């Protein structure tokens, strides 16, 4: 494991840059990671998905939710999810939410 300073806080990350300790996550960290992912501003629609992913993961042993889980339970369509988090929404949501990479993502 290595560490990285995000939004002024040192956090543990894996070799792909995903946080390994969800308890270190803050909303400020999410904003900075979103910028790294090319999302300039997290709107209420973004936060709804990020918060859903965190809640789901924390109640599910820490595993980031899949795209199907998000679209089936968070009140967002696949098209909307790809619009909010272009080019790999599952991975982007997980990174921004301070979670590990979802299973099945390459």
The residue annotated as part of the active site, out of 12, 90, 105, 106, is 105
Is residue 46 annotated as part of the catalytic site, yes or no? no
Note the pLDDT tens digit of each residue in 62-89.
889 999 999 999 999 999 999 999 999 9
Identify the DSSP state of 75.
S
Share of the chain above pLDDT 90, in %: 84
Using an 8 Å Cβ cutoff, are 99 and 53 in contact? yes
H or E element in which residue 68 lies: helix 67-73
pLDDT at 106 (0 to 100): 52
pLDDT of residue 61: 81
Q: Residue 105 pLDDT > 80, yes or no? A: no
Question: What pLDDT was estimated at residue 60?
Answer: 83
Q: What is the DSSP letter of 26?
A: -
């Amino acid at each position: 494991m290595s560490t990285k300073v995000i939004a002024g806080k040192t956090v543990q990350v894996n070799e792909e840059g995903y946080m390994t300790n969800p308890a270190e996550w803050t909303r400020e960290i999410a904003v900075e990671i979103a910028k790294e992912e090319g999302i300039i501003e997290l709107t209420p629609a973004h936060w709804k998905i990020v918060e859903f992913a965190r809640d789901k993961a924390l109640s599910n042993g820490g595993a980031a939710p899949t795209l199907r889980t998000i679209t089936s339970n968070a009140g967002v369509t696949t098209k909307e999810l790809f619009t909010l988090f272009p080019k790999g929404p599952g991975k982007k949501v997980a990174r921004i939410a301070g979670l590990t990479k979802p299973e099945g993502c390459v």
